Amino acid sequence: MTTRDLDRDFIGYGANPPDPRWPDGARLALNFVLNYEEGSEPSIADGEDYSENGLTEAHGMGVVAIGRDLAAESMFEYGSRVGFWRLHRLFQERRLPMTVFGCALAFERNPAAAQAIRAAGYDVCCHGWRWVLHSKLDEVEERQHIAKAIASLEKSVGSRPLGWYCRYGPSLHTRRLLIEEGGFTYDSDSYADELPFWRAVNGRPHLIRVIQRTAPARS
């Protein structure tokens, strides 16, 4: 099987990455990102048969997600009740910009946090409607999730998202569906580089903005 058959790029920019030319000749660009997901995770109340505990101490002890986990639920509640506000204050005091990877349902369940994000002017990258495995959605379901997330964010934070980042990895259809929707300028569903890069999707250029990592400029 060839690389073309795999539809993967193992070469990228190679030995000659472009100079990103950060403003004022900066050598390093930092993008602060806050994940806002609390209330969108799998839970009994939302129809799953377990409470999400993948990011809790219990998961580190090898405990699998079976049934309702009240401890795990309270850890997620801490994030929206306390953690978000603490970080928001720190960034506001220092007048620092921020990108928020936001699950739409999470904002719906904490209107005060959504309003604070809106007032601060933070960049909101859509983190999906809620925690789901997009790879397990069929094309119709995934299109519905994307549309639902957009409509929700327009109401909660006052504008549609321009970027997309699946809570889990994307499906084979995700990037094409984003292109077809027409309002997204980028997605962050790749960990393949330190600099943004372009891909052709259905004959159209689409920006992959890998903002989870620092990106040093050429010396």
pLDDT of residue 204: 85
The arithmetic mean of pLDDT across residues 105-133, rounded, is: 96
pLDDT of residue 111: 97
DSSP string over 86-137: HHHHHHHHHT---EEEE-HHHHHT-HHHHHHHHHHT-EEEE--SSS--GGGS
The full 3-state SS of 1-50, as one line of letters, equals CCHHHHCCCCCCCCCCCCCCCCHHHCCEECCCEEEECCCCCCCHHHCCCE
Dihedral angle over CA of 145, 104, 186, 191, nearest 10: -90
Among candidates 160, 161, 178, 162, which has minimal Cα distance to 170? Answer: 178
Q: What is the CA radius of gyration of the chain?
A: 19
pLDDT of residue 219: 38
Ramachandran bin of 131, using left for φ above 0, alpha for ψ from -120 to 50, beta for the remaining angles: beta
Residue 197: which H helix or E strand, with range? strand 197-201
Q: Does 66 score more than 50 pLDDT? A: yes
Sign of CA dihedral 23, 26, 27, 33: negative
Of 63-77, 109-123, 192-206, minimum mean pLDDT range: 63-77
Record the tokens describing residue 12, joined without a space.
Answer: 């990228």
Instruction: Read off the pLDDT band of 2 (50, 70, 90).
Output: very low
Q: Does 1 score more than 50 pLDDT? A: no
Burial (CB < 10 A; 0-12, 13-18, 19+), residue 183, is exposed
Q: How far is CA 13 from CA 8, 19, 105, 164, 188, in A?
A: 14, 11, 37, 23, 18
pLDDT of residue 4: 46
Of 54-63, 96-105, 110-119, 156-165, minimum mean pLDDT range: 54-63
Record the tokens describing residue 212, joined without a space.
Answer: 């989870």
The arithmetic mean of pLDDT across residues 69-97, rounded, is: 94
pLDDT of residue 50: 85
pLDDT of residue 20: 87
Whole-number average pLDDT of the chain: 88
SS3 (DSSP) at 198: strand
Cβ–Cβ < 8 Å for 134, 166? yes
Cβ–Cβ < 8 Å for 107, 152? yes
Question: For 5-57, how does the pLDDT look when each residue is reduced to its tens digit (9 = 90+)?
Answer: 457 889 999 999 999 888 999 988 888 999 999 999 988 888 888 888 876 76
Instruction: Read off the pLDDT band of 166 (50, 70, 90).
Output: very high
Of 1-5, 105-109, 114-118, 202-206, minimum mean pLDDT range: 1-5
pLDDT of residue 114: 97
**Structural domains in the chain, sorted by start:** 30-216 (3.20.20.370)
